[in-house]
Protein backbone atom coordinates (compact mmCIF):
# COMPACT_ATOMS: atom_id res chain seq x y z
CA UNK A 1 0.00 0.00 0.00
CA UNK A 2 3.06 2.24 -0.39
CA UNK A 3 1.64 3.90 -3.52
CA UNK A 4 -1.30 5.59 -1.82
CA UNK A 5 -1.70 8.29 0.81
CA UNK A 6 -2.73 7.80 4.42
CA UNK A 7 -6.33 8.79 3.79
CA UNK A 8 -6.63 6.07 1.17
CA UNK A 9 -4.89 3.54 3.41
CA UNK A 10 -7.26 4.36 6.24
CA UNK A 11 -10.34 3.79 4.07
CA UNK A 12 -9.02 0.53 2.62
CA UNK A 13 -8.09 -0.85 6.03
CA UNK A 14 -11.42 0.19 7.48
CA UNK A 15 -13.47 -1.39 4.74
CA UNK A 16 -11.49 -4.59 4.30
CA UNK A 17 -10.80 -5.37 7.95
CA UNK A 18 -13.83 -3.87 9.67
CA UNK A 19 -16.33 -4.64 6.89
CA UNK A 20 -19.64 -5.60 8.43
CA UNK A 21 -18.85 -4.61 12.04
CA UNK A 22 -21.65 -3.46 14.30
CA UNK A 23 -20.45 -0.06 15.40
CA UNK A 24 -22.05 2.55 17.59
CA UNK A 25 -20.68 5.43 15.52
CA UNK A 26 -22.71 4.27 12.52
CA UNK A 27 -25.45 1.92 13.50
CA UNK A 28 -26.65 1.98 17.09
CA UNK A 29 -29.55 4.19 18.01
CA UNK A 30 -32.31 3.73 20.55
CA UNK A 31 -35.76 3.06 19.25
CA UNK A 32 -38.54 5.48 20.15
CA UNK A 33 -40.06 2.81 22.36
CA UNK A 34 -36.87 2.41 24.34
CA UNK A 35 -36.21 -1.00 22.85
CA UNK A 36 -32.92 -2.47 21.66
CA UNK A 37 -30.63 -0.67 19.24
CA UNK A 38 -31.43 -1.06 15.56
CA UNK A 39 -29.34 -0.61 12.42
CA UNK A 40 -29.90 2.78 10.80
CA UNK A 41 -28.07 3.63 7.59
CA UNK A 42 -26.02 6.80 7.94
CA UNK A 43 -23.84 7.72 4.94
CA UNK A 44 -20.47 9.10 5.94
CA UNK A 45 -17.20 10.02 4.34
CA UNK A 46 -15.32 8.86 7.42
CA UNK A 47 -13.85 5.41 7.92
CA UNK A 48 -15.13 3.11 10.63
CA UNK A 49 -13.26 3.37 13.92
CA UNK A 50 -12.12 0.08 15.43
CA UNK A 51 -14.95 -1.39 17.52
CA UNK A 52 -14.49 -1.92 21.23
CA UNK A 53 -16.11 -4.49 23.47
CA UNK A 54 -18.78 -1.98 24.46
CA UNK A 55 -19.78 -1.30 20.84
CA UNK A 56 -20.13 -4.95 19.82
CA UNK A 57 -23.61 -5.36 21.23
CA UNK A 58 -24.68 -8.90 22.01
CA UNK A 59 -22.26 -10.44 19.55
CA UNK A 60 -20.23 -12.54 22.00
CA UNK A 61 -17.49 -12.31 19.37
CA UNK A 62 -14.00 -10.97 19.82
CA UNK A 63 -12.87 -8.19 17.44
CA UNK A 64 -10.44 -10.65 15.79
CA UNK A 65 -13.33 -13.05 15.13
CA UNK A 66 -15.45 -10.27 13.69
CA UNK A 67 -12.57 -9.28 11.42
CA UNK A 68 -12.14 -12.82 10.09
CA UNK A 69 -15.88 -13.34 9.63
CA UNK A 70 -16.42 -10.01 7.91
CA UNK A 71 -13.63 -10.81 5.44
CA UNK A 72 -15.28 -14.15 4.59
CA UNK A 73 -18.64 -12.43 4.20
CA UNK A 74 -17.09 -9.83 1.90
CA UNK A 75 -15.38 -12.45 -0.27
CA UNK A 76 -18.09 -15.10 -0.37
CA UNK A 77 -21.49 -13.75 0.63
CA UNK A 78 -21.99 -10.00 0.12
CA UNK A 79 -22.35 -10.28 -3.66
CA UNK A 80 -25.66 -12.15 -3.36
CA UNK A 81 -26.95 -11.12 0.07
CA UNK A 82 -25.80 -7.49 0.04
CA UNK A 83 -23.47 -5.49 2.25
CA UNK A 84 -26.42 -4.58 4.48
CA UNK A 85 -27.77 -8.15 4.15
CA UNK A 86 -31.06 -6.95 2.70
CA UNK A 87 -30.98 -9.62 0.00
CA UNK A 88 -31.13 -9.65 -3.82
CA UNK A 89 -29.98 -12.75 -5.68
CA UNK A 90 -29.66 -14.33 -2.25
CA UNK A 91 -32.17 -14.07 0.57
CA UNK A 92 -32.17 -11.28 3.14
CA UNK A 93 -30.24 -12.23 6.29
CA UNK A 94 -31.56 -10.08 9.14
CA UNK A 95 -29.77 -10.78 12.41
CA UNK A 96 -33.09 -11.29 14.21
CA UNK A 97 -34.07 -14.09 11.81
CA UNK A 98 -30.68 -15.76 12.06
CA UNK A 99 -30.87 -15.65 15.85
CA UNK A 100 -34.37 -17.14 15.78
CA UNK A 101 -33.17 -20.01 13.58
CA UNK A 102 -30.38 -20.81 16.00
CA UNK A 103 -26.73 -21.55 15.41
CA UNK A 104 -27.17 -25.24 14.52
CA UNK A 105 -29.72 -24.50 11.78
CA UNK A 106 -27.66 -21.65 10.30
CA UNK A 107 -24.62 -23.95 10.27
CA UNK A 108 -26.65 -26.59 8.44
CA UNK A 109 -27.80 -24.14 5.78
CA UNK A 110 -24.33 -22.77 5.16
CA UNK A 111 -22.88 -26.28 5.01
CA UNK A 112 -25.35 -27.74 2.53
CA UNK A 113 -26.50 -24.70 0.57
CA UNK A 114 -29.88 -24.40 -1.09
CA UNK A 115 -31.79 -25.08 -4.27
CA UNK A 116 -31.62 -21.57 -5.72
CA UNK A 117 -27.90 -21.32 -6.27
CA UNK A 118 -26.69 -21.10 -2.64
CA UNK A 119 -23.35 -22.97 -2.68
CA UNK A 120 -22.78 -25.90 -0.35
CA UNK A 121 -19.90 -24.20 1.40
CA UNK A 122 -19.16 -27.11 3.70
CA UNK A 123 -19.99 -30.08 1.50
CA UNK A 124 -17.79 -28.67 -1.27
CA UNK A 125 -15.00 -28.07 1.27
CA UNK A 126 -14.70 -24.37 0.44
CA UNK A 127 -15.20 -23.35 4.07
CA UNK A 128 -14.03 -25.37 7.08
CA UNK A 129 -16.41 -26.34 9.85
CA UNK A 130 -14.79 -23.79 12.16
CA UNK A 131 -15.29 -21.07 9.53
CA UNK A 132 -18.93 -22.09 9.05
CA UNK A 133 -19.58 -21.92 12.80
CA UNK A 134 -17.89 -18.53 12.87
CA UNK A 135 -20.13 -17.30 10.06
CA UNK A 136 -23.27 -18.59 11.77
CA UNK A 137 -22.43 -16.52 14.85
CA UNK A 138 -21.48 -13.52 12.71
CA UNK A 139 -24.86 -13.51 10.96
CA UNK A 140 -26.53 -13.04 14.33
CA UNK A 141 -24.72 -9.69 14.70
CA UNK A 142 -26.47 -6.79 12.90
CA UNK A 143 -24.41 -5.30 10.05
CA UNK A 144 -23.10 -1.78 9.84
CA UNK A 145 -22.45 0.45 6.84
CA UNK A 146 -18.94 0.53 5.40
CA UNK A 147 -17.43 3.93 4.58
CA UNK A 148 -18.04 5.89 1.41
CA UNK A 149 -15.55 6.17 -1.45
CA UNK A 150 -15.61 9.34 -3.52
CA UNK A 151 -13.65 10.93 -6.33
CA UNK A 152 -10.88 12.17 -4.06
CA UNK A 153 -10.27 8.65 -2.76
CA UNK A 154 -10.22 7.35 -6.32
CA UNK A 155 -7.64 9.94 -7.33
CA UNK A 156 -5.43 8.88 -4.44
CA UNK A 157 -5.53 5.28 -5.66
CA UNK A 158 -5.08 6.03 -9.38
CA UNK A 159 -1.81 4.83 -10.92
CA UNK A 160 -1.05 5.74 -14.54
CA UNK A 161 1.69 3.11 -14.67
CA UNK A 162 2.69 3.70 -18.29
CA UNK A 163 1.74 7.19 -19.52
CA UNK A 164 0.36 7.51 -23.05
CA UNK A 165 3.58 9.16 -24.23
CA UNK A 166 5.46 5.96 -23.37
CA UNK A 167 3.05 3.55 -25.03
CA UNK A 168 3.42 2.23 -28.58
CA UNK A 169 1.52 3.86 -31.43
CA UNK A 170 1.14 0.50 -33.18
CA UNK A 171 1.06 -3.17 -32.23
CA UNK A 172 4.57 -4.22 -31.19
CA UNK A 173 4.20 -8.00 -30.96
CA UNK A 174 3.29 -10.99 -33.15
CA UNK A 175 0.41 -12.17 -30.98
CA UNK A 176 -2.85 -13.10 -32.67
CA UNK A 177 -4.99 -10.84 -30.53
CA UNK A 178 -8.20 -11.92 -32.22
CA UNK A 179 -7.69 -15.41 -30.83
CA UNK A 180 -6.21 -14.49 -27.48
CA UNK A 181 -8.03 -15.52 -24.30
CA UNK A 182 -8.06 -13.55 -21.06
CA UNK A 183 -8.62 -16.10 -18.30
CA UNK A 184 -9.67 -15.11 -14.79
CA UNK A 185 -7.56 -16.83 -12.11
CA UNK A 186 -10.07 -15.93 -9.46
CA UNK A 187 -8.53 -16.83 -6.13
CA UNK A 188 -4.92 -15.88 -6.89
CA UNK A 189 -5.83 -12.35 -8.06
CA UNK A 190 -4.52 -12.62 -11.61
CA UNK A 191 -5.64 -12.75 -15.22
CA UNK A 192 -3.76 -15.11 -17.55
CA UNK A 193 -3.39 -14.31 -21.24
CA UNK A 194 -3.37 -17.51 -23.30
CA UNK A 195 -2.62 -17.78 -27.00
CA UNK A 196 -5.63 -19.50 -28.56
CA UNK A 197 -3.47 -21.06 -31.26
CA UNK A 198 -0.55 -22.50 -29.29
CA UNK A 199 -2.49 -22.83 -26.00
CA UNK A 200 0.52 -21.33 -24.22
CA UNK A 201 0.35 -18.81 -21.38
CA UNK A 202 1.68 -15.53 -22.76
CA UNK A 203 1.53 -13.50 -19.55
CA UNK A 204 -0.10 -13.28 -16.15
CA UNK A 205 -1.36 -9.88 -15.05
CA UNK A 206 -1.69 -8.94 -11.34
CA UNK A 207 -5.15 -7.63 -10.49
CA UNK A 208 -7.34 -6.93 -7.50
CA UNK A 209 -9.05 -9.66 -5.53
CA UNK A 210 -11.33 -12.14 -7.34
CA UNK A 211 -11.72 -10.68 -10.83
CA UNK A 212 -15.34 -10.72 -11.95
CA UNK A 213 -15.22 -9.85 -15.65
CA UNK A 214 -12.79 -8.83 -18.39
CA UNK A 215 -13.99 -6.59 -21.21
CA UNK A 216 -11.79 -6.00 -24.29
CA UNK A 217 -12.08 -2.64 -26.01
CA UNK A 218 -13.69 -2.59 -29.44
CA UNK A 219 -10.28 -1.88 -31.00
CA UNK A 220 -8.88 -5.01 -29.26
CA UNK A 221 -6.01 -2.96 -27.89
CA UNK A 222 -7.02 -2.80 -24.25
CA UNK A 223 -8.37 -5.15 -21.62
CA UNK A 224 -10.56 -3.64 -18.92
CA UNK A 225 -10.60 -5.75 -15.76
CA UNK A 226 -12.73 -5.32 -12.64
CA UNK A 227 -12.16 -7.26 -9.43
CA UNK A 228 -14.57 -7.75 -6.59
CA UNK A 229 -12.61 -5.47 -4.30
CA UNK A 230 -13.30 -2.53 -6.60
CA UNK A 231 -9.94 -2.42 -8.35
CA UNK A 232 -10.03 -1.71 -12.10
CA UNK A 233 -6.98 -2.68 -14.18
CA UNK A 234 -6.07 -1.60 -17.73
CA UNK A 235 -3.87 -3.89 -19.86
CA UNK A 236 -2.25 -2.79 -23.12
CA UNK A 237 -2.12 -5.68 -25.61
CA UNK A 238 -0.06 -3.69 -28.13
CA UNK A 239 3.02 -3.62 -25.93
CA UNK A 240 5.91 -5.91 -26.80
CA UNK A 241 4.68 -8.01 -23.90
CA UNK A 242 1.11 -7.27 -22.73
CA UNK A 243 1.33 -5.23 -19.57
CA UNK A 244 -0.62 -3.37 -16.92
CA UNK A 245 -0.62 0.33 -17.83
CA UNK A 246 -3.10 1.84 -15.38
CA UNK A 247 -5.19 0.91 -12.36
CA UNK A 248 -7.59 2.54 -9.95
CA UNK A 249 -9.81 1.62 -7.02
CA UNK A 250 -13.40 2.81 -7.50
CA UNK A 251 -14.96 1.41 -4.33
CA UNK A 252 -14.79 -1.50 -1.94
CA UNK A 253 -16.81 -4.02 -3.93
CA UNK A 254 -17.61 -4.09 -7.63
CA UNK A 255 -18.79 -6.31 -10.49
CA UNK A 256 -19.13 -4.30 -13.72
CA UNK A 257 -16.84 -2.64 -16.26
CA UNK A 258 -17.56 -1.69 -19.87
CA UNK A 259 -15.75 0.41 -22.51
CA UNK A 260 -17.58 2.81 -24.82
CA UNK A 261 -18.45 1.30 -28.22
CA UNK A 262 -20.47 3.84 -30.17
CA UNK A 263 -18.81 4.85 -33.44
CA UNK A 264 -16.30 7.62 -32.86
CA UNK A 265 -16.06 6.92 -29.12
CA UNK A 266 -14.17 3.62 -29.22
CA UNK A 267 -11.68 3.39 -26.31
CA UNK A 268 -12.58 6.90 -25.12
CA UNK A 269 -14.44 6.12 -21.90
CA UNK A 270 -14.93 3.28 -19.46
CA UNK A 271 -17.83 2.89 -17.02
CA UNK A 272 -17.17 0.97 -13.81
CA UNK A 273 -20.02 -0.01 -11.50
CA UNK A 274 -19.69 -0.57 -7.76
CA UNK A 275 -21.61 -2.70 -5.30
CA UNK A 276 -20.31 -0.55 -2.46
CA UNK A 277 -20.66 2.34 -2.39
CA UNK A 278 -23.68 2.12 -4.72
CA UNK A 279 -22.40 4.19 -7.63
CA UNK A 280 -20.72 4.12 -11.02
CA UNK A 281 -17.64 5.96 -12.21
CA UNK A 282 -16.69 7.12 -15.69
CA UNK A 283 -12.97 6.86 -16.41
CA UNK A 284 -10.78 8.02 -19.27
CA UNK A 285 -10.52 4.91 -21.42
CA UNK A 286 -6.79 5.27 -22.08
CA UNK A 287 -5.47 6.37 -18.70
CA UNK A 288 -8.16 5.48 -16.13
CA UNK A 289 -8.21 9.04 -14.84
CA UNK A 290 -11.52 9.31 -12.91
CA UNK A 291 -13.77 11.85 -14.61
CA UNK A 292 -17.08 11.58 -12.77
CA UNK A 293 -18.81 9.47 -10.13
CA UNK A 294 -22.60 9.15 -9.92
CA UNK A 295 -24.57 7.65 -7.04
CA UNK A 296 -27.26 5.06 -7.78
CA UNK A 297 -29.02 5.24 -4.42
CA UNK A 298 -32.64 6.10 -4.92
CA UNK A 299 -36.22 4.93 -5.17
CA UNK A 300 -37.35 1.44 -6.01
CA UNK A 301 -39.12 1.12 -9.36
CA UNK A 302 -42.82 0.64 -8.68
CA UNK A 303 -43.04 1.18 -4.91
CA UNK A 304 -41.14 4.47 -4.80
CA UNK A 305 -39.49 3.49 -1.52
CA UNK A 306 -35.89 4.53 -0.86
CA UNK A 307 -33.15 1.89 -0.95
CA UNK A 308 -29.71 2.67 0.51
CA UNK A 309 -27.87 -0.16 -1.29
CA UNK A 310 -28.71 0.20 -4.98
CA UNK A 311 -25.81 -1.75 -6.48
CA UNK A 312 -24.62 -1.62 -10.08
CA UNK A 313 -24.93 -5.21 -11.27
CA UNK A 314 -23.93 -4.88 -14.93
CA UNK A 315 -23.16 -2.33 -17.63
CA UNK A 316 -23.75 -2.71 -21.37
CA UNK A 317 -22.36 -0.31 -23.98
CA UNK A 318 -24.83 0.78 -26.63
CA UNK A 319 -23.97 0.54 -30.34
CA UNK A 320 -27.00 2.69 -31.17
CA UNK A 321 -26.11 5.80 -29.18
CA UNK A 322 -23.15 7.17 -27.17
CA UNK A 323 -24.59 5.66 -24.00
CA UNK A 324 -23.95 3.14 -21.27
CA UNK A 325 -26.84 1.03 -20.02
CA UNK A 326 -26.25 0.84 -16.25
CA UNK A 327 -28.39 -1.80 -14.53
CA UNK A 328 -29.15 -1.11 -10.88
CA UNK A 329 -30.02 -4.18 -8.86
CA UNK A 330 -32.06 -3.23 -5.79
CA UNK A 331 -34.07 -0.38 -7.29
CA UNK A 332 -34.77 -2.04 -10.64
CA UNK A 333 -33.71 1.08 -12.53
CA UNK A 334 -32.04 0.78 -15.94
CA UNK A 335 -30.05 3.97 -16.50
CA UNK A 336 -29.21 5.19 -19.99
CA UNK A 337 -26.14 7.37 -19.45
CA UNK A 338 -25.16 9.67 -22.32
CA UNK A 339 -21.38 10.11 -22.22
CA UNK A 340 -21.01 12.91 -24.78
CA UNK A 341 -20.56 15.17 -21.76
CA UNK A 342 -19.16 13.07 -18.93
CA UNK A 343 -19.01 16.01 -16.52
CA UNK A 344 -22.73 16.76 -16.95
CA UNK A 345 -24.15 13.50 -18.33
CA UNK A 346 -27.78 13.22 -19.38
CA UNK A 347 -29.28 10.17 -17.68
CA UNK A 348 -32.62 8.63 -18.60
CA UNK A 349 -33.96 6.30 -15.93
CA UNK A 350 -36.14 3.42 -17.10
CA UNK A 351 -38.35 1.78 -14.52
CA UNK A 352 -37.73 -1.90 -15.10
CA UNK A 353 -37.88 -4.72 -12.54
CA UNK A 354 -36.08 -5.17 -9.24
CA UNK A 355 -32.89 -7.10 -8.83
CA UNK A 356 -31.50 -6.51 -12.30
CA UNK A 357 -28.40 -8.64 -12.58
CA UNK A 358 -26.52 -9.77 -15.68
CA UNK A 359 -27.43 -9.84 -19.36
CA UNK A 360 -26.32 -9.06 -22.89
CA UNK A 361 -27.34 -7.93 -26.36
CA UNK A 362 -29.39 -9.78 -28.94
CA UNK A 363 -27.81 -10.75 -32.27
CA UNK A 364 -28.61 -7.33 -33.81
CA UNK A 365 -26.94 -5.57 -30.85
CA UNK A 366 -29.98 -3.30 -30.53
CA UNK A 367 -31.84 -4.96 -27.67
CA UNK A 368 -30.38 -5.64 -24.23
CA UNK A 369 -31.86 -8.53 -22.25
CA UNK A 370 -31.21 -8.31 -18.50
CA UNK A 371 -32.19 -10.87 -15.90
CA UNK A 372 -34.20 -9.54 -12.96
CA UNK A 373 -33.25 -12.74 -11.29
CA UNK A 374 -34.82 -12.55 -7.85
CA UNK A 375 -38.14 -11.68 -9.57
CA UNK A 376 -37.78 -14.52 -12.14
CA UNK A 377 -38.08 -12.13 -15.09
CA UNK A 378 -36.05 -10.86 -18.03
CA UNK A 379 -36.22 -7.18 -18.97
CA UNK A 380 -35.78 -6.13 -22.61
CA UNK A 381 -34.37 -2.63 -23.22
CA UNK A 382 -34.48 -1.11 -26.71
CA UNK A 383 -31.22 0.85 -26.80
CA UNK A 384 -32.25 2.60 -30.03
CA UNK A 385 -35.64 3.92 -28.86
CA UNK A 386 -34.42 4.17 -25.23
CA UNK A 387 -37.34 2.35 -23.65
CA UNK A 388 -38.29 -0.89 -21.95
CA UNK A 389 -39.58 -2.95 -24.86
CA UNK A 390 -40.90 -5.85 -22.78
CA UNK A 391 -40.71 -7.77 -19.53
CA UNK A 392 -40.57 -11.54 -20.06
CA UNK A 393 -42.06 -13.49 -17.18
CA UNK A 394 -44.12 -16.42 -18.41
CA UNK A 395 -41.87 -19.41 -18.96
CA UNK A 396 -38.87 -17.95 -17.10
CA UNK A 397 -37.56 -20.34 -14.45
CA UNK A 398 -36.24 -19.65 -10.97
CA UNK A 399 -33.39 -17.14 -10.70
CA UNK A 400 -32.33 -16.64 -14.33
CA UNK A 401 -28.56 -16.14 -14.60
CA UNK A 402 -27.52 -15.74 -18.25
CA UNK A 403 -24.07 -14.18 -18.00
CA UNK A 404 -24.33 -12.36 -21.31
CA UNK A 405 -26.67 -15.06 -22.62
CA UNK A 406 -26.42 -16.90 -25.93
CA UNK A 407 -27.86 -15.87 -29.30
CA UNK A 408 -29.13 -18.75 -31.44
CA UNK A 409 -31.16 -19.06 -34.62
CA UNK A 410 -34.04 -21.29 -33.61
CA UNK A 411 -35.14 -23.56 -36.49
CA UNK A 412 -38.81 -22.77 -35.82
CA UNK A 413 -38.94 -19.40 -34.05
CA UNK A 414 -36.03 -17.53 -35.60
CA UNK A 415 -33.45 -15.41 -33.72
CA UNK A 416 -33.55 -16.07 -29.99
CA UNK A 417 -31.61 -15.49 -26.78
CA UNK A 418 -30.94 -18.10 -24.10
CA UNK A 419 -30.59 -18.09 -20.33
CA UNK A 420 -30.09 -20.81 -17.75
CA UNK A 421 -31.17 -20.58 -14.11
CA UNK A 422 -29.69 -20.78 -10.65
CA UNK A 423 -32.88 -22.18 -9.14
CA UNK A 424 -34.00 -24.91 -11.53
CA UNK A 425 -32.88 -26.99 -14.51
CA UNK A 426 -34.80 -25.09 -17.19
CA UNK A 427 -33.09 -23.26 -20.02
CA UNK A 428 -35.36 -20.57 -21.42
CA UNK A 429 -35.27 -19.57 -25.10
CA UNK A 430 -36.69 -16.10 -25.79
CA UNK A 431 -37.60 -14.88 -29.28
CA UNK A 432 -35.77 -11.65 -30.22
CA UNK A 433 -36.99 -10.72 -33.72
CA UNK A 434 -39.94 -8.28 -33.57
CA UNK A 435 -39.63 -7.52 -37.31
CA UNK A 436 -39.79 -10.93 -39.01
CA UNK A 437 -41.11 -13.02 -36.11
CA UNK A 438 -43.35 -10.58 -34.20
CA UNK A 439 -45.54 -13.31 -32.64
CA UNK A 440 -42.48 -14.83 -30.98
CA UNK A 441 -40.74 -11.63 -29.93
CA UNK A 442 -40.06 -11.24 -26.22
CA UNK A 443 -41.72 -14.53 -25.33
CA UNK A 444 -40.31 -17.80 -24.08
CA UNK A 445 -40.73 -19.94 -27.17
CA UNK A 446 -39.21 -23.11 -25.71
CA UNK A 447 -37.87 -24.46 -22.45
CA UNK A 448 -35.07 -27.02 -22.47
CA UNK A 449 -34.06 -29.30 -19.62
CA UNK A 450 -30.47 -28.83 -18.53
CA UNK A 451 -28.22 -30.53 -16.03
CA UNK A 452 -29.98 -29.13 -12.98
CA UNK A 453 -30.16 -25.94 -10.96
CA UNK A 454 -27.04 -23.85 -10.48
CA UNK A 455 -26.37 -22.69 -14.05
CA UNK A 456 -24.26 -19.54 -14.47
CA UNK A 457 -23.48 -19.29 -18.18
CA UNK A 458 -24.62 -20.39 -21.62
CA UNK A 459 -22.85 -19.75 -24.90
CA UNK A 460 -22.79 -20.48 -28.63
CA UNK A 461 -21.16 -19.05 -31.77
CA UNK A 462 -22.57 -17.90 -35.14
CA UNK A 463 -20.59 -20.67 -36.89
CA UNK A 464 -21.69 -23.41 -34.49
CA UNK A 465 -24.92 -25.35 -34.08
CA UNK A 466 -24.21 -26.16 -30.43
CA UNK A 467 -25.41 -24.50 -27.23
CA UNK A 468 -23.29 -25.08 -24.12
CA UNK A 469 -24.77 -24.65 -20.62
CA UNK A 470 -22.92 -25.15 -17.32
CA UNK A 471 -24.20 -25.75 -13.76
CA UNK A 472 -21.25 -25.08 -11.43
CA UNK A 473 -23.42 -24.01 -8.50
CA UNK A 474 -25.30 -27.31 -8.36
CA UNK A 475 -24.75 -29.10 -5.02
CA UNK A 476 -24.02 -32.40 -6.78
CA UNK A 477 -20.30 -32.73 -7.65
CA UNK A 478 -21.14 -34.82 -10.72
CA UNK A 479 -23.44 -32.14 -12.12
CA UNK A 480 -21.18 -29.25 -11.14
CA UNK A 481 -18.31 -31.01 -12.91
CA UNK A 482 -20.19 -31.46 -16.18
CA UNK A 483 -21.63 -29.41 -19.02
CA UNK A 484 -24.76 -29.86 -21.17
CA UNK A 485 -24.49 -29.49 -24.96
CA UNK A 486 -27.61 -28.99 -27.10
CA UNK A 487 -27.88 -29.29 -30.88
CA UNK A 488 -29.62 -26.08 -31.95
CA UNK A 489 -30.90 -27.79 -35.11
CA UNK A 490 -32.55 -30.53 -33.03
CA UNK A 491 -33.75 -28.93 -29.84
CA UNK A 492 -36.37 -31.63 -29.43
CA UNK A 493 -33.56 -33.98 -28.42
CA UNK A 494 -31.98 -34.05 -24.96
CA UNK A 495 -28.58 -32.53 -24.33
CA UNK A 496 -25.38 -34.49 -24.44
CA UNK A 497 -23.76 -34.47 -21.00
CA UNK A 498 -19.98 -34.18 -20.93
CA UNK A 499 -18.15 -34.96 -17.64
CA UNK A 500 -15.51 -32.31 -18.27
CA UNK A 501 -13.79 -32.51 -14.86
CA UNK A 502 -13.38 -36.25 -15.33
CA UNK A 503 -12.05 -35.71 -18.85
CA UNK A 504 -9.39 -33.48 -17.29
CA UNK A 505 -8.53 -36.21 -14.80
CA UNK A 506 -9.79 -34.15 -11.87
CA UNK A 507 -12.06 -36.12 -9.58
CA UNK A 508 -12.86 -34.43 -6.29
CA UNK A 509 -15.89 -32.78 -4.75
CA UNK A 510 -14.60 -29.23 -5.04
CA UNK A 511 -14.04 -29.16 -8.83
CA UNK A 512 -16.62 -27.18 -10.84
CA UNK A 513 -16.87 -26.76 -14.60
CA UNK A 514 -17.76 -23.21 -15.53
CA UNK A 515 -18.07 -20.79 -18.44
CA UNK A 516 -17.82 -22.26 -21.92
CA UNK A 517 -16.12 -19.86 -24.35
CA UNK A 518 -15.53 -20.19 -28.09
CA UNK A 519 -12.37 -19.39 -29.95
CA UNK A 520 -12.43 -16.84 -32.77
CA UNK A 521 -13.29 -19.43 -35.44
CA UNK A 522 -16.13 -21.08 -33.53
CA UNK A 523 -14.41 -24.48 -33.84
CA UNK A 524 -13.15 -24.84 -30.27
CA UNK A 525 -14.83 -24.52 -26.89
CA UNK A 526 -12.81 -23.73 -23.76
CA UNK A 527 -14.11 -24.74 -20.33
CA UNK A 528 -12.67 -24.06 -16.89
CA UNK A 529 -12.30 -26.78 -14.31
CA UNK A 530 -12.39 -24.46 -11.33
CA UNK A 531 -10.98 -25.98 -8.17
CA UNK A 532 -9.63 -24.89 -4.82
CA UNK A 533 -6.36 -23.00 -4.91
CA UNK A 534 -4.53 -25.92 -3.26
CA UNK A 535 -5.86 -28.47 -5.77
CA UNK A 536 -5.51 -29.15 -9.47
CA UNK A 537 -7.38 -26.89 -11.88
CA UNK A 538 -7.33 -26.92 -15.68
CA UNK A 539 -8.77 -25.53 -18.87
CA UNK A 540 -10.21 -28.15 -21.19
CA UNK A 541 -10.31 -27.34 -24.90
CA UNK A 542 -12.88 -29.37 -26.84
CA UNK A 543 -13.56 -29.69 -30.54
CA UNK A 544 -16.99 -28.12 -31.00
CA UNK A 545 -18.16 -30.55 -33.67
CA UNK A 546 -16.94 -33.85 -32.18
CA UNK A 547 -16.93 -32.74 -28.51
CA UNK A 548 -13.63 -34.58 -28.10
CA UNK A 549 -10.75 -33.25 -26.02
CA UNK A 550 -8.15 -31.39 -28.08
CA UNK A 551 -6.00 -29.98 -25.30
CA UNK A 552 -5.86 -29.85 -21.53
CA UNK A 553 -4.11 -26.69 -20.32
CA UNK A 554 -2.75 -27.59 -16.90
CA UNK A 555 0.05 -25.06 -16.61
CA UNK A 556 1.11 -24.59 -12.98
CA UNK A 557 0.10 -20.95 -13.30
CA UNK A 558 -3.52 -21.89 -14.10
CA UNK A 559 -5.06 -21.90 -10.63
CA UNK A 560 -8.77 -21.37 -9.90
CA UNK A 561 -9.72 -20.42 -13.51
CA UNK A 562 -13.26 -19.17 -14.03
CA UNK A 563 -14.27 -16.82 -16.88
CA UNK A 564 -12.47 -16.98 -20.22
CA UNK A 565 -12.86 -14.09 -22.62
CA UNK A 566 -11.87 -14.40 -26.26
CA UNK A 567 -10.64 -10.95 -27.25
CA UNK A 568 -12.49 -10.77 -30.57
CA UNK A 569 -15.74 -12.45 -29.57
CA UNK A 570 -16.13 -10.61 -26.28
CA UNK A 571 -15.12 -7.24 -27.69
CA UNK A 572 -17.64 -7.60 -30.53
CA UNK A 573 -20.43 -8.94 -28.24
CA UNK A 574 -20.53 -12.31 -29.98
CA UNK A 575 -22.05 -14.85 -27.63
Least confident span in 44-53, 336-345, 473-482: 44-53
Q: Could you tell me the pLDDT band of residue 546, with boundaries at 50, 70 and 90?
A: very high
Q: Is the pLDDT of residue 27 over 80?
A: no
The length of the chain is: 575
Contacts for 480 with CB less than 8 Å, ≥ 6 apart: 454, 471, 472, 473, 474, 511, 512, 513
Pick 125 or 158 by higher pLDDT.
158
* pLDDT > 70 fraction of the chain, expressed in percent and rounded: 89
Mean pLDDT, the chain, whole residue set: 88
What is the mean pLDDT of the segment spanning 453-475?
97
The pLDDT tens digits of the residues spanning 221-232 come to: 999 999 999 999
| Confidence at 87, pLDDT banded by 50, 70, 90 | confident
Q: Active-site positions?
A: 77, 80-81, 118, 357, 401
Residue 98 belongs to what H/E stretch?
helix 95-101
Stretch (H or E) spanning 477: helix 477-480
Distance between the two ends of the chain, CA-based, in angstroms? Answer: 38
The average pLDDT across 12-39 equals 32
The radius of gyration of the chain from alpha carbons, rounded to an integer in Å, stands at 23
Q: Nearest CA to 398 among 76, 115, 87?
A: 115
**pLDDT given at position 347:** 98
Give the Cα separation of 33 and 30 in Å (integer): 8
Q: What is residue 47's DSSP assignment? A: P
Summarize pLDDT for 258-297 with one digit per residue, the tens: 999 999 999 999 999 999 999 999 999 999 999 999 999 9
User: Of the ranges 127-141, 278-292, 357-371, 479-493, which one carries the lowest mean pLDDT score?
Assistant: 127-141
Higher pLDDT, 114 or 206: 206
Nearest to 471 by CA among 461, 463, 483, 487: 483
pLDDT at position 166, please? 97
Predicted pLDDT at 116: 63
CB atoms within 10 A of CB 530: 28
How far is Cα 439 from Cα 428, in angstroms, rounded to an integer?
A: 17
pLDDT band per the 50, 70, 90 thresholds, residue 115: low
pLDDT value at 24 more than 50 = no
pLDDT tens digits for range 197-238? 999 999 999 999 999 999 999 999 999 999 999 999 999 999
Mean pLDDT is lowest, of 77-81, 111-115, 392-396, 485-489, for 111-115
Amino acid sequence: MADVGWGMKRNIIAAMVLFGFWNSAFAQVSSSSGGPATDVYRPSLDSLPRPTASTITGSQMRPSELGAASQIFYERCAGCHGVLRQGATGRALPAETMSALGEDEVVRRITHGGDTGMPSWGASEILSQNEIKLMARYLMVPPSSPPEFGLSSMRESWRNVVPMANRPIKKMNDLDLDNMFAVVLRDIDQVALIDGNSKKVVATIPTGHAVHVVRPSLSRRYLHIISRDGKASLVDLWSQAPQLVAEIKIGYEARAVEPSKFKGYEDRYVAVGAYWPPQFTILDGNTYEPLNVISTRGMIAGSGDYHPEARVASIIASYERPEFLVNVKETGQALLVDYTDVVNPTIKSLKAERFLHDGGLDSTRRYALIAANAEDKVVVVDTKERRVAAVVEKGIGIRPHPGRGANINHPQFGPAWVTGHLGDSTIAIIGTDPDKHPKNAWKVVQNLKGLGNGSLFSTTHPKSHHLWVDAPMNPSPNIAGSVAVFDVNHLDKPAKILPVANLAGINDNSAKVVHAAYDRSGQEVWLSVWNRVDRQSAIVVLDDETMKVKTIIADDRIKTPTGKFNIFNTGQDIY
